[in-house]
């Protein structure tokens, strides 16, 4: 049975329960027509002033005929609380999961135990699944390494694989096979030599073509902050440690530390901070701009679709500024 997810949750528990995890964000954005899913939610009463991801997730549940979901109501999106209630009223079975703002081990442990009991998974099986996923998480880290160190993976490819680690496409074995095939191909490539190295911060972009556009301008994204977090690159310790090290659901401090490390490690020249229209996370832009030591370009996206000319122009100007700065 498939279980829809509104955000990254301890996927080991779902797999240990014999369920198929389906990240609703990925289903929405890779659907044949994401715009149609947004419009369909609007036709059913969702206001224009609600984030498009929420509307896309809502429609994806019905389009994919999913009847049970996990709504992440703490540490991800405050809109999900109401979304869960609307889905519940439409007959969808909604399980709640919340990352504690306190980031306290005991609080997270309680949430995970609660989810485990609801899904009837045993800790033995959860840890067996965790070991099974280890090789996949290592390969994702390798793809990341080949992006910023060996320069043979594009920013778009990095995004494509890392963003899918929230549910492993519902099929860890198939996903690992895909990773192996990609790695074999990538290893035969000649390293890329772009002049400008960028980091991408924030939730994945709702528009398409960003990475390609950046690369057409002699730059490359070599750090995808949140997508990398989805892949759980710091999975030392036990399961609770793993999900405490995941920076995205907690305060921005952990994210800033992670980004600061990446700036140094990956020799980044600039950062693109993506913000979503009508998302409360836009406020973090203030702290990101204040606290990070390199230039930040803030891009806002609203609806799905190709990059528009205004955003392309802003990217061009930003990359040009970084190039001039580097040459000085
Ligand atoms: S982009 Fe922001 S408002 Fe939209 S679903 Fe994500 S966290 Fe919620």
Task: Specify the pLDDT at position 235.
Answer: 72
Decide if 2-123 and 135-327 have a common fold: yes
- Residue 191 DSSP SS3: coil
- Could you tell me the pLDDT band of residue 327, with boundaries at 50, 70 and 90? confident
Residue 247: other Cβ atoms inside 10 A: 21
What is the spatial distance between Cα 95 and Cα 79, in angstroms, rounded to a whole number? 15
Rounded to two decimals, the pTM is 0.96
CA count, 13 A, side-chain hemisphere, 317 = 10
Give the percent of the chain with pLDDT over 70. 100
Average pLDDT of span 262-278: 97
pLDDT by residue (tens digit) across 283-320?
999 999 999 999 999 999 999 999 999 999 999 999 99
| pLDDT beyond 90 at 78 | no
What is the spatial distance between Cα 266 and Cα 139, in angstroms, rounded to a whole number? 19
- Could you tell me the pLDDT band of residue 105, with boundaries at 50, 70 and 90? very high
Average pLDDT of span 240-247: 96
What is the spatial distance between Cα 284 and Cα 51, in angstroms, rounded to a whole number? 16
pLDDT by residue (tens digit) across 188-240?
999 999 999 999 999 999 999 999 999 999 999 999 999 999 999 977 889 99
Structure tokens at 189: 């490539």
Give the percent of the chain with pLDDT over 90. 96
Task: Tell the CATH topology of 2-123.
Answer: Rossmann fold (3.40.50)
Check pocket membership of 322 for ligand 1, CB cut-off 6 A: no
27 CB-near residues (< 8 Å, 6+ apart): 4, 60, 63, 64
Distance of CA 55 to CAs 85, 106, 208, Å?
14, 33, 18
CA angle, 50 as apex, 115 and 306 as ends, to 5°?
A: 100
| pLDDT beyond 80 at 87 | yes
Q: How many A from CA of 141 to the centre of ligand 1?
A: 26
Check pocket membership of 281 for ligand 1, CB cut-off 6 A: yes
How many residues does the structure list for the chain?
328
- Choose the residue to mutate in 281, 300, 301, 302 for probing ligand 1, maximizing ligand atoms within 8 Å of C-beta: 281
What would the CATH number be for the domain defined by 135-327? 3.40.50.11900
Domain ranges of the chain: 2-123, 135-327
CA angle, 213 as apex, 211 and 218 as ends, to 5°?
A: 95
Q: How many A from CA of 51 to the centre of ligand 1?
A: 6
């Amino acid at each position: 049975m498939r279980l829809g997810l509104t955000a990254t949750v301890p996927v080991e528990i779902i797999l240990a329960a014999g369920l198929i995890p389906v990240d609703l964000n990925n289903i929405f954005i890779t659907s044949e027509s994401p715009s149609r899913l947004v419009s369909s939610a609007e036709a059913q009463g969702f206001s224009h002033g609600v984030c498009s991801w929420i509307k896309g997730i809502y429609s994806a549940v019905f389009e994919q005929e999913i009847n049970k979901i996990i709504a992440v109501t703490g540490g991800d999106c405050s809109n999900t609380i109401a979304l869960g209630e609307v889905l519940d009223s439409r007959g969808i079975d909604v399980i709640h999961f919340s990352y504690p703002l306190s980031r306290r081990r005991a609080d997270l442990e309680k949430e995970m135990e609660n989810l485990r009991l609801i899904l009837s998974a045993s800790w033995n099986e959860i840890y067996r699944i965790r070991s099974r996923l280890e090789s996949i998480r290592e390969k994702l880290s390798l793809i990341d390494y080949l992006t910023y160190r060996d320069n043979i993976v594009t920013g778009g490819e990095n995004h494509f694989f890392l963003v899918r680690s929230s549910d492993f496409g519902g099929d860890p074995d198939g996903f690992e096979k895909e990773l192996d095939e990609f790695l074999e191909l990538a290893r035969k490539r000649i390293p890329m030599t772009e002049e400008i190295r960028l980091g991408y911060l924030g939730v994945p972009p709702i528009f398409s073509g960003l990475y390609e556009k950046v690369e057409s301008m002699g730059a490359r994204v070599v750090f995808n902050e949140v997508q990398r977090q989805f892949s759980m690159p710091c999975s030392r310790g036990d399961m609770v440690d793993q999900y405490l090290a995941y920076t995205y659901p907690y305060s921005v401090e952990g994210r800033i530390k992670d980004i600061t490390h990446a700036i140094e490690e990956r020799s980044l020249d600039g950062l693109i901070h993506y913000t979503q229209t009508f998302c409360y996370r836009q406020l973090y832009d203030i702290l990101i701009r204040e606290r990070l030591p390199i230039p930040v370009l803030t891009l806002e996206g609203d609806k799905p679709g190709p990059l528009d000319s205004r955003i392309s122009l802003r990217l061009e100007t930003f990359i040009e500024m970084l190039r001039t700065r580097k040459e000085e």
